[in-house]
Structure 1
Amino acid sequence: MQTAGVSRRQAAERRQDTLDRLAAERDVWVSTGHPDHGPHQVPLWFLWDGRAMWMCTSAASVTARNVREEPRVRLALADTFDVVLLQGEAECFPDHEVPGDAAEAFAAKFGWDPRTEEEPFLYVRVAPKTVRAWRGEPELRGRVIMRDGRWQDQVDSSG
């Protein structure tokens, strides 16, 4: 594990760094599970609206099937050194029922509007209940920066 030159960030800095990444990045790994078919993981584009992540997938995809059956999901940004893991429950919106502001913001970010496609798409909204963020071993302690949907004011030592 890369630790040389890594200084431990305080909780407020970790939260701000995480929010900056959520606003700027475009890809997230989405992990779902199905009681009969087991786990599934796929990268999807996402939009952070300040409170939740919005993703979109084909209404016939494994991800769509899984979140309809079991809404608990885990999300991970791609950088394995600057880790951000989110956990929450998915809310599903067929493309013709998605809130307009979310769909417009998604289309503006990616230059693609799933509502205009011939096949149906499903928008998936996840408001995180838990967020973990750390950079290398020095930050493993206190990596929980959101618990029960509330940002932590202090570094949590239970990790």
Structure 2
Amino acid sequence: METTGIVRRQTAERVRDVLGRLVAERDVWVSTGHPDHGPHQVPLWFLWDGRAVWMCTSATSATARNIRTEPRVRLALADTFDVVLLQGEAECFPDEDVPGSAAEAFAGKFGWDPRVEEDSFLYVRVVPRTVRAWRGEPELRGRVIMRDGTWLEQPPSVDGE
């Protein structure tokens, strides 16, 4: 693996970068598992509300079925050079029971409101318990930036305060 030019970020900088990506990006890979059917992975749109990831999927999808059986999930942002992996337990909200603020924020970000669709959708909320982030081999050490739901360091503020 070529590592030329990679500058190792400190934990607080990694946290800041991850939080920025969680706000800016729209797609996340969701990995679920079922004891009888094995692993399942699918990309979904997501919204970061400052504490949790919100996604939406068909109420009858394999993802929804798996989460109902086994709520532990892993989420991954798409960039394989700037890796971000989140782990947590999924909490499900049928479209008629989702908190209004989450549904409105989701609809605002994507211009699509699953609550008005003919088919039933399931909102999935994941509060991360563990987050890992790294860019290349120099950052493998120290890649855990959240443990037990707590950021290991607070990110530096954007305005320098």
Counterpart amino acid of residue 110 in structure 1: F
- CA change 1:59–1:2 in 2 (3 A) is farther
1:135 alignment counterpart? 135
Say whether 1:31 aligns with 2:31: yes
Distance 2:153 2:111 in 1: 37
Counterpart amino acid of residue 81 in structure 1: F
2:97 alignment counterpart? 97
Distance 1:153 1:24 in 2: 21
Distance 2:44 2:2 in 1: 27
1:18 alignment counterpart? 18
Distance 1:26 1:3 in 2: 28
Distance 2:39 2:126 in 1: 18
2:71 alignment counterpart? 71
Distance 1:4 1:68 in 2: 44
Counterpart amino acid of residue 134 in structure 2: W
1:153 alignment counterpart? 153
- CA change 1:2–1:76 in 2 (3 A) is farther
* 3-state SS in 1 of match to 2:125: strand
- Calculate the TM-score normalised by the size of structure 1: 0.95
- Calculate the TM-score normalised by the size of structure 2: 0.94
2:115 alignment counterpart? 115
Contact 2:31 2:73 in 1 (8 A): yes
Distance 2:3 2:102 in 1: 39
**Cα root mean square deviation, aligned:** 0.9
In the TM superposition, residue 2 of structure 1 has moved relative to its aligned partner by 4.0
User: Hey, which bits of structure 1, 4+ residues long, moved more than 2 A?
Assistant: none
Structure 2 unaligned residues grouped into runs of 5+: 155-161
* 3-state SS in 2 of match to 1:13: helix
Counterpart amino acid of residue 148 in structure 1: D
- Map Cα deviations across residues 5-56 of structure 1 (whole Å, 9 max, x no partner): 1000000000000000000000000000001111000000000000000000
Say whether 1:44 aligns with 2:44: yes
Distance 2:110 2:153 in 1: 33
* 3-state SS in 1 of match to 2:7: coil
Contact 1:2 1:81 in 2 (8 A): no
Counterpart amino acid of residue 133 in structure 1: A
In the TM superposition, residue 4 of structure 1 has moved relative to its aligned partner by 1.5
Contact 2:15 2:153 in 1 (8 A): no
1:157 alignment counterpart? none
